[in-house]
Structure 1
């Protein structure tokens, strides 16, 4: 088997009869997509992007996003995926950490003011960034030079594909664990293409019969992995530029969609928009991640209405759709997170967090994974990479689960302090650092609580002298952070509850969560 068999380009079957993508009703065939990739590779070369150069992609779901990834692979370059919900502090962190020399950015999308967000980033914060390429306009107001992304509008001199690049970084996802700022998870063409082929095979995708509604953002592994799996299968992908329930319902019904992947909240909103008892008879698999309370009740309602939910598991490090439940599983098992690994070569084990020994089936502990889908490492962070991978090559997920004994496993909860907010994993320290940079705040702690059925964060701050105004803090955080990271409440305290231990003084985060719930209840 040659290296070409593990390239992203190997996933495109130009002979497939069905269109590769449908964007807003406009079809893009595989031959057309291949031509767009070649045009984009030539455009990247004209921008002086070559082997090892990083291009930050800050776009909604559009064909340019996908062509940039495949074109970067042809050039030996690297794409750093930027979440469109990010604001200035998060964008600056990613640009600085990745060393991106070019950013491809939307001119405008709905209420997102990309220019205003970039205006809040000082040039010396991101010294490697040289220019912006704007999709949909010639330029946006910015301190960096702007060019138009015009790869599809004019011809650039063609360039030959790079050779032997399949084991070098090609895509960087952001991820947060217990560290303060997000790390960058590096994947290669081999890890992406191999896993995409495993997904297509495990789901038994038939290009003539199956189709995907891509309603998750391409900037995350959940959206990207499902997209690549269907590309590998030669099946059609209907794309939403960003999730909204109404257009999702329309496409699911009119296009006879068979597969969709998303959060429990997405499927809850879809069901709420239709009174039809069984509105989507063609749906076969709805893979869902449970982020909100009440997901079991949702799964039962969805089942009764012919919307079959399947629990799954994944992470940026081992890719989304690492595993999924099977149709033959009992309903109670089918809706649990975890399931059966997509790749027959994947290995899952559980380590007892108390003894450090491998746990027997049915015993909860930290999930460890070795698989072809495993990441190359954390970009420019060898220490974090070394800490995350065992001597025998297993990734320490930081997730708690148990082996079922039949080849499947169950995901139970996240270990440590990381919070799941808005469907994303967020480190408390990321929000705490922003709070501590605000005037009047000496120290801060952030915890997650269930607030009206949604996971929200609550902050406790110790003031410098005069207590800061909550409204001013919230306004500042909204400028700097994605909306789902902005605390629902900010409480001023004199001190944090702590415990003295042999390893030093530790914040009682469980006590902070209790305090948050008590104060909210008192309101």
Structure 2
């Protein structure tokens, strides 16, 4: 049984067309700084075909037979976002298997358990994966493939002409992607998407013409995030350049890319934009006019600064907009389960931190309480279900087939405004709603506060909720510093907060240790509650199990 070659579908047909234009060109469209790797689409597809041959031979006879029968064949992938990750991702897809990119923070024992839960046919590891291939292989029956050992040992040479295999036609409705949720407020869940989901999303993006071959995207995402995968594949299909920044990103490094005039597109978490703004005002703004203008001139090419992973606060947005000539941050909102939901184009219109824009084409939405409440959506790109969890899949939808996002929104006219997660960011105090972000903004304005998470905790012996705050004091605060709840409440009263909005309990953290963060720049409130209010965590965990 021979490897199938490149499938005859939308994505690979497009890649073949671009690669054939790159065969004889000394032209790099893919740069991986951490791996010191430079390639173009032709080299990429040549490596995909090489790795496909290796991976296909490594699969068990049963797995190869299942691929031919269009059954679910899951292959796990652990690698930081970069060239090896991209080769591996496309290789798994080209076989007709279900590709499941896993967080690089996972440990060997967790990966072994996940392999058993998903009945993985193989595990593919990049050279920069923290997992040890030999150690992992010793505890599993499925093969573990270290990508770099094969690609370095057998360098590929692009053929004179690439082509798809007309007989290798995959069912677009079959499963193609197994992506895990961030787990920012609950346990991560495996989200199963059909191949058609990504085909629809990518073809829709291609039709917008946002990107062209003249663009360069600085790719900053973790390798397991759905939004990052979409942006990467879209850039690839547009023939634009991708510069992978894993392992090398810093605000100084990013500003150098901007100064060179190469970076035109970035999609990143809000905190990165704040770091860049701080670096400009603390470093670049003090340099000579000529040197400073070199950076600002480069910034004029930076036409698509988009936010993903979490919503930017007003302070983050103001910091970025204070840079002369900076393009307004582009906000959007989506979920792993249903893809994009809302978006706000870069027109400068209503750039507030809570506005995520208008519904995207084909998206239907309801709010449980009319104009305010949990957002329920139906999109053209709904997921197939949670992997091996039909119970959770059923609970995720209302009686009309709308997906429960778990996010609290407000609708004003045709625009949608995000207020946070229902279970940790919106606190019902005797019928009055407290939005954690509003309280956090006021607490952050206090001179002794560096960072804060406002969270709900239970009133002793009742189901009633109370407001609590986990405060990271400002750096340089005396070691014996201690703020009381009464002092905090007095300060917040002076700032205009109502009594019901004020925290009734606080926990102070180490000023030198950041508050927990989730993937994609999301606040790690679940981890923070677990650490600083453990009894509340145990209660919520029991509810989740039920």
TM over 0.5: yes
Q: Report the counterpart of residue 519 of structure 1 in structure 2.
A: none
1:131 pairs with 2:136? no
Deviates more, 1:217-226 or 1:17-26: 17-26
Q: Report the counterpart of residue 42 of structure 1 in structure 2.
A: 53
- For residues 537 and 234 of structure 2, what CA distance do their matches in structure 1 show? 47
Q: Report the counterpart of residue 230 of structure 1 in structure 2.
A: 235
Q: Report the counterpart of residue 451 of structure 1 in structure 2.
A: 472
- Superposed CA deviations along residues 43-102 of structure 1, whole A, max 9, x for unmatched, are 221112542322111101222222222222221111111111223564345323322232
The alpha carbon displacement at 1:107 in A equals: 4.1
Q: Report the counterpart of residue 223 of structure 2 in structure 1.
A: 218
Decide which of 254, 258, 262 is 1:256's aligned counterpart.
Answer: 262
Decide which of 9, 12, 19 is 2:12's aligned counterpart.
Answer: 9
Decide which of 77, 98, 115 is 2:132's aligned counterpart.
Answer: 115
Preserved CA contact (<8 Å) 2:376 2:403: yes
The alpha carbon displacement at 1:486 in A equals: 6.3
Q: Give the TM-score normalised by the residue count of structure 1.
A: 0.67
- For residues 265 and 41 of structure 2, what CA distance do their matches in structure 1 show? 20
Preserved CA contact (<8 Å) 2:108 2:132: no
Q: Report the counterpart of residue 287 of structure 1 in structure 2.
A: 306
From the CA coordinates, give the structure whose radius of gyration is larger: 2
Preserved CA contact (<8 Å) 1:350 1:403: no
SS in structure 1 opposite 2:123? strand
Change (3 A) 1:448 1:337: farther
Q: Report the counterpart of residue 444 of structure 2 in structure 1.
A: none
The alpha carbon displacement at 1:452 in A equals: 5.1
The alpha carbon displacement at 1:487 in A equals: 5.3
Change (3 A) 1:85 1:247: farther
- For residues 492 and 449 of structure 1, what CA distance do their matches in structure 2 show? 9
Question: What are the residue-to-residue correspondences of 1:403-482 with 2, within 5 Å?
Answer: 403-406=411-414, 408-417=415-424, 449=470, 451=472
Q: Report the counterpart of residue 289 of structure 2 in structure 1.
A: none
The alpha carbon displacement at 1:216 in A equals: 0.9
Deviates more, 1:26-35 or 1:208-217: 26-35
Q: Give the TM-score normalised by the residue count of structure 2.
A: 0.65
1:394 pairs with 2:402? yes
Preserved CA contact (<8 Å) 2:218 2:244: yes
- Superposed CA deviations along residues 286-329 of structure 1, whole A, max 9, x for unmatched, are 1114748x83122112112133311111121123x543211235
Change (3 A) 1:20 1:391: farther
- For residues 187 and 267 of structure 1, what CA distance do their matches in structure 2 show? 31
* Unaligned stretches of 5+ residues in structure 1: 138-147, 354-358, 421-427, 429-446, 455-473, 478-482, 499-504, 510-523
The alpha carbon displacement at 1:507 in A equals: 9.4
Preserved CA contact (<8 Å) 1:106 1:114: no
Greater strand percent: which structure? 1
The alpha carbon displacement at 1:122 in A equals: 9.5
Preserved CA contact (<8 Å) 2:268 2:308: yes
Change (3 A) 1:391 1:164: farther
Change (3 A) 1:78 1:506: closer
Deviates more, 1:247-256 or 1:484-493: 484-493
Greater helix percent: which structure? 2
Q: Report the counterpart of residue 75 of structure 1 in structure 2.
A: 95
Preserved CA contact (<8 Å) 1:87 1:117: no
- Superposed CA deviations along residues 482-512 of structure 1, whole A, max 9, x for unmatched, are x97865994698x7699xxxxxx98999xxx
